[in-house]
């Protein structure tokens, strides 16, 4: 039997079978629990509610309305079928010109039109997953390392290192300063990597942050750019949540930051983007690599042949994103709906004493459950997570999945469900917290009673002994034996 298992393993590649994918974590286990028992309001009301998947379903109606009003944008309609023969044939790795121009314009608009992006630097990829891996293949060799501020997206283990052979070195950020990235933390991680004999090739950040739901301020961005320039390493900015900002401060792209910085080596700066989160269309698999480095751009374009965006998708999105009226309305309405949903969830949690990190972007918030841990450890965190997943039936993701240095935080996704499911989820977590508090209160009362009774009993005996024997009690007295 052992021979068969070993022989079977040898038939597969080391890349395919190594354990660096990161799938063996509570983050993905929560997804599996949901898949095995998905919530449905009527067919399975006691199922698991998916709050571990960062999907944006709040503006599907706007996209549907545009598609209905613009049937000629699709080659699969009577109005657009005449374009079929032009779109269905082979397209080169550059992609459709109108698609690249529309994406570049959209990226600029999301950033407040502070930067003009060059359509010729748009390199396609199959989603942000493919884009992240592509840029890593371009910048580093197996065994090289990238610094990554934690807590960070669990999928980065797969995207950045599974097939590339790269290493990730966490930059530990703390709740004491709201998990802000500091120069000291970056230096510490860089020195740690050197002690481990790792060749650091760069830093990768997510702005806005996943899982924190916060945007990086300009000073932090400038500090990051200065750091990579001093070390002569790369800075990759994953900006896939750029248009999910629903409160101040605004999103600032690294492309805007470097415009005002003197002595900045732009060859070190790269951006990963996608429409999966901002437009809520992850199934379209639209990922983008944008580099200020000509050599990286050329390499990435060659590699893009392994994960191009279909021409049909390019054609449809080029038309949609070129509609200025639609884009403007979509961005405004999306921001309003995200803000409302975020408010409903976080205020609902506040009612039972659960606080969250102040955030202004993303499709999630960072929930503080440290007060509910039986012990302040990652073991205590996983114990609490299992109760929430298996008994409360909510798939929220524990901080250990995000390589956070502090246990007790959970990422909660809020934009992937309808309003009625939100109510169910809030009711479940409120009931759980209140029940937990009642149990703790009853436990405290029982402990108080036991302690009170012991003290009363002890005081009475001591008082009686004093009356009976005001002098020092002999070691041979039965009263001494009674006390021991």
Residue 188 is among the residues annotated as catalytic for this protein: no
- The DSSP secondary structure of 27-95, one letter per residue, reads HHHHHHHHHHSB-BTTTBTTSBEE-S-----TTHHHHHHHHHH-GGGSTTSTTTGGGHHHHHS---TT-
* 153 belongs to the catalytic site: yes
3-state secondary structure of 120: helix
Q: Which of 49, 181, 204, 240 is flagged as catalytic?
A: 240
Distance CA 412, CA 399 (A): 11
User: What phi, psi does 49 have (nearest 5°)?
Assistant: -90, 130
Q: Report helix, strand or coil for 237.
A: strand
Among 27, 153, 190, 290, the one annotated catalytic: 153
Between β-strands 269-274 and 234-238, what pairing exists: parallel, antiparallel or unpaired?
parallel
Residue with tokens 């959970």: 410
Cβ pair 177, 163 in contact under 8 A: no
Exactly one of 144, 159, 238, 368 is catalytic; name it.
238
Residues 188 and 117: their CA atoms lie apart, in Å, by 34
Active site residue 419: no
* 274: three-class secondary structure by DSSP: strand
Which among 271, 277, 278, 290 is annotated as catalytic? 277
Active site residue 240: yes
For residues 258 and 230, what is the distance between their CA atoms, to the nearest angstrom? 15
Q: How far apart are CA 160 and CA 135, in angstroms?
A: 9
Residues linked to residue 79 through DSSP beta bridges, in sequence order: none
Contact between 18 and 294 under an 8 Å Cβ cutoff? The reply is no
Q: Which residues are catalytic?
A: 153, 238, 240, 277
């Amino acid at each position: 039997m052992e021979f068969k298992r070993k022989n079977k393993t040898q038939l597969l590649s080391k890349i395919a079978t190594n354990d660096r994918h990161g799938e063996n974590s509570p983050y993905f286990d929560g997804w599996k629990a949901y898949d095995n028992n998905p919530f449905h309001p009527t067919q399975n009301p006691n199922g698991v509610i998916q709050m571990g998947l960062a999907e944006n379903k709040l503006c599907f109606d706007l996209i549907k309305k545009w598609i209905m009003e613009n049937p000629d944008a699709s080659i699969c309609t009577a109005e657009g079928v005449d374009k079929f023969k032009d779109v269905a044939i082979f397209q080169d790795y550059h992609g459709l010109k109108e698609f690249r121009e529309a994406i570049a314009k959209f990226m600029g608009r999301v950033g407040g039109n502070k930067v003009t992006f060059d359509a010729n630097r748009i390199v396609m990829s199959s989603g942000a997953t493919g884009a992240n891996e592509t840029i890593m293949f371009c910048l580093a060799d197996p065994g090289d390392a990238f610094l990554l501020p934690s807590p960070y997206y669990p999928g980065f283990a797969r995207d950045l290192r599974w097939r590339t052979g790269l290493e990730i070195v966490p930059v530990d950020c703390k709740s004491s300063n709201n998990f802000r990235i500091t120069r000291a933390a970056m230096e510490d991680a860089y020195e740690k990597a050197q002690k481990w004999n790792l060749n650091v090739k760069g830093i990768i950040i997510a702005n806005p942050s996943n899982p924190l739901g916060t945007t990086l301020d300009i000073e932090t961005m400038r500090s990051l750019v200065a750091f990579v320039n001093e070390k002569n390493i790369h800075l990759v900015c994953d900006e896939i949540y750029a248009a999910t900002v629903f409160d101040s401060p605004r999103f600032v792209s690294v492309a805007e930051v470097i415009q005002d910085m003197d002595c900045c080596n732009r060859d070190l700066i790269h951006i990963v983007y996608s429409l999966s989160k901002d437009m809520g269309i992850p199934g379209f698999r639209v990922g983008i690599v944008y580099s200020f480095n000509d050599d990286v751009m050329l390499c990435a374009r060659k590699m893009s042949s392994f994960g191009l965006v279909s021409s049909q998708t390019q054609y449809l999105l080029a038309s949609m994103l070129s509609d200025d009226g639609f884009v403007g309305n979509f961005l405004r309405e999306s921001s309003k709906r995200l803000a409302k949903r975020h408010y409903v969830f976080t205020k609902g949690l506040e009612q039972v004493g659960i606080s969250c990190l102040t955030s202004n972007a993303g499709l999630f918030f960072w929930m503080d459950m440290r007060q509910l841990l039986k012990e302040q450890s990652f073991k205590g965190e996983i114990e609490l997570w299992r109760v929430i997943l298996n008994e409360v039936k909510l798939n929220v993701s524990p901080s250990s999945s995000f390589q956070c240095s502090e246990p007790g935080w959970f990422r909660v996704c809020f934009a992937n469900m309808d309003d009625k499911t939100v109510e169910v989820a809030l009711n479940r977590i409120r009931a759980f917290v209140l029940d937990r508090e009642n149990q703790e209160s009853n436990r405290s009362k029982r402990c108080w009673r036991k302690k009170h009774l012991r003290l009363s009993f002890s005081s009475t005996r001591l008082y009686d002994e004093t009356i009976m024997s005001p002098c020092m009690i002999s070691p041979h007295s039965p009263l001494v034996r009674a006390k021991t």
